[in-house]
């Protein structure tokens, strides 16, 4: 917007008011300082981000702002500002409040001429923006990519090794049994990958709020029997017994068949994965307004502290017996998302080295 040269004092006053209302309407904090870093002008957003409610005009910038870097070391903001020759930006500093809490900042420092009748006076304009949310999303995304790529690498390497092995045996000895064995192992890994990709795609749809709930009549008896049949081979392969104990007296349940099934499948997969001997039982019982499903195992169990964290994204126990199994720490996180969609309630009872029961109360949806 072209502006008139400021000659008459009324115009100057008007211009100043315009500028003040302009910077006050900005969401970013703007602070103008003189050459000695005394605050000359600032806007309302600056008071908000600095969390002060009295005037800061005339104060030294270092008295109102404490910045720390990625390694929690104080940032010598005064020296940095005085060394700034052209506009510079930074996204790695944090603003620290007197109580020790911090916010991530986007900071821009620009050397400027501060006119306002004091011809030639120069200083700097500092712009601050709270980017805590963006930063935590960025960190989450980086962690996500690193966990997922790490978890993909192992099964792909095993499958590739086994397929290469099968080719080699075919060429050299033609031993059918050994070829079959190698291909079966490769097949297992591919199945694991496909399960993981399913989890990831459910998760991404859940996070974008794209999952819809289709309420159907669920025959709990049939559902439990079906899941029991589906997982018996996996349980038997580990020498475990799988008991499906459906209750015939249960009435039809009104909820999302797809999600209830996925939640139970996650519980059962984990129960088999984290149990070395004994059994896994799937059962259901009536409770007012719905049905409670229990998946009980005689497995490695969870410590009290671990129990609190099982539904966290990417969380996996440090227990070496957990780490012997592939996993992403996403299964129960996805389960929790689905649970909320169908207004269900989850409960975990567990004792280390004794076993766990993962329960879910599924209410009838209208
Ligand atoms: P994943 O199995 O891929 O690691 P989950 O989100 O399904 O991820 O589970 C998170 C963690 O919770 C597991 O890594 C394991 O440490 C713990 N956990 C889940 N189910 C059981 C269980 N039935 N018994 C013992 N630990 C369990």
Residues in Cβ contact with 179 at an 8 Å cutoff, skipping those fewer than 6 apart? 166, 169, 170
pLDDT reading at 15 higher than 80: yes
Point out the ligand 1 atom lying closest to the alpha carbon of residue 319.
Answer: 16
Reported as a pLDDT band with limits 50, 70 and 90, residue 7 is: low
**What is d(CA 191, CA 189) in angstroms, rounded to the nearest whole number?**
5
Reported as a pLDDT band with limits 50, 70 and 90, residue 209 is: confident
pLDDT at 137: 85
Helix axes 132-172, 176-207, angle to 10 degrees: 160
Pairing state between β 67-68 and 88-90? unpaired
From the CB of 302, is ligand 1 less than 6 Å away? yes
Domain positions in the chain: 9-130, 138-208, 211-366
Rounded to 5 degrees, what angle do the CA atoms 6, 9, 15 make?
Answer: 55
For 231, what's the count of Cα atoms within 13 Å in the CB-facing half-sphere?
28
Show the tokens assigned to 214. 């289709």
Segment 194-209 mean pLDDT: 82
pLDDT at 117: 52
pLDDT reading at 4 higher than 70: no
Segment 50-79 mean pLDDT: 94
Percent of the chain with pLDDT over 70: 95
CB 280 within 8 A of CB 268: yes
Rounded to 5 degrees, what angle do the CA atoms 267, 272, 276 make?
Answer: 140
pLDDT at 102: 94
pLDDT reading at 281 higher than 70: yes
From the CB of 299, is ligand 1 less than 6 Å away? yes
pLDDT digits (tens, 9 = 90+) for 96-142: 999 999 999 999 999 998 665 555 568 999 999 999 999 888 887 88
pLDDT reading at 200 higher than 90: no
pLDDT reading at 364 higher than 80: yes
Q: Which residue has the tokens 């792909």?
A: 156
311 alpha carbon to ligand 1 midpoint, in Å? 9
Residue 38: DSSP 8-state: B
CB 352 within 8 A of CB 322: no
Please give the CATH number for the structural domain made up of 9-130. Answer: 3.30.450.20
pLDDT digits (tens, 9 = 90+) for 148-196: 787 788 889 999 999 999 999 999 998 999 999 999 999 988 988 888 8
Please choose from 152, 303, 305, 332 the residue to mutate so as to test ligand 1's pocket, defined by most ligand atoms within 8 A of CB: 332
**What is d(CA 264, CA 125) in angstroms, rounded to the nearest whole number?**
58
Please choose from 331, 335, 355, 358 the residue to mutate so as to test ligand 1's pocket, defined by most ligand atoms within 8 A of CB: 331
pLDDT at 89: 95
Nearest residue by C-alpha to atom 25 in ligand 1: 301
Fold of 211-366: Heat Shock Protein 90 (3.30.565)
Segment 28-35 mean pLDDT: 94
C-alpha dihedral (36, 38, 43, 44), degrees to nearest 10: 140
Segment 73-98 mean pLDDT: 94
From the CB of 151, is ligand 1 less than 6 Å away? no
Please choose from 202, 264, 322, 338 the residue to mutate so as to test ligand 1's pocket, defined by most ligand atoms within 8 A of CB: 322
Mean model confidence pLDDT for the chain: 90
pLDDT at 120: 59
pLDDT at 10: 72
138-208 CATH choice from 2.60.60, 3.30.2010, 1.10.287, 1.10.3470: 1.10.287
pLDDT reading at 62 higher than 90: yes
pLDDT digits (tens, 9 = 90+) for 237-264: 999 999 999 888 888 999 999 999 999 9
Helix (H, G, I), strand (E, B) or coil at 110: strand
């Amino acid at each position: 917007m072209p502006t008139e040269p400021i000659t008459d004092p009324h115009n100057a006053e008007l211009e100043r008011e315009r500028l003040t209302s302009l910077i006050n309407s900005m969401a970013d904090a703007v602070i103008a300082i003189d050459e000695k870093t005394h605050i000359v002008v600032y806007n309302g957003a600056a008071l908000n981000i600095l969390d002060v409610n009295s005037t800061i005009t005339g104060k030294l910038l270092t008295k109102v702002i404490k910045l720390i870097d990625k390694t929690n070391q104080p940032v010598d903001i005064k020296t940095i500002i005085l060394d700034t020759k052209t506009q510079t930006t930074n996204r790695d500093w944090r603003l620290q409040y007197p109580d020790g809490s911090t916010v991530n900042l986007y900071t821009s420092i620009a050397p400027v001429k501060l006119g306002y009748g004091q011809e030639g006076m120069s200083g700097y304009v500092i712009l601050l923006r709270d980017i805590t949310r963006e930063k935590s999303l960025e960190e989450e995304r980086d962690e996500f990519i690193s966990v997922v790529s790490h978890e993909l690498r192992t099964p792909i390497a095993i499958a590739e090794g086994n397929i290469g092995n099968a080719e080699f045996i075919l060429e050299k000895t033609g031993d059918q049994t050994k070829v079959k064995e190698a291909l079966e192992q490769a097949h297992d890994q591919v199945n694991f990958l496909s399960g993981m990709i399913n989890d990831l795609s459910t998760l991404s749809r859940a996070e974008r709020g794209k999952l819809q709930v289709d309420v159907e009549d669920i025959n709990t008896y049939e559902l439990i029997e079906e899941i029991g049949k589906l997982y018996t081979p996996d349980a038997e392969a580990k020498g475990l017994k799988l008991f499906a104990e459906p209750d015939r007296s249960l009435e039809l349940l009104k909820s999302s068949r797809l999600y209830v099934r996925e939640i139970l499948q996650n519980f059962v997969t984990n129960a088999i994965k984290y149990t070395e001997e004994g059994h896994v039982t799937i059962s259901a019982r009536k409770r007012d307004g719905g049905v409670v499903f229990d998946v009980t195992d005689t497995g490695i169990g969870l410590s009290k502290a671990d129990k609190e964290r099982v539904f966290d994204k990417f969380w996996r126990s440090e227990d070496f017996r957990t780490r012997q199994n592939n996993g992403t720490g996403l299964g129960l996180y996805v389960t929790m998302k689905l649970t909320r969609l169908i207004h269900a309630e989850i409960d975990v009872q567990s004792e280390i080295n004794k076993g766990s029961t993962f329960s879910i109360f599924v209410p009838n949806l209208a």
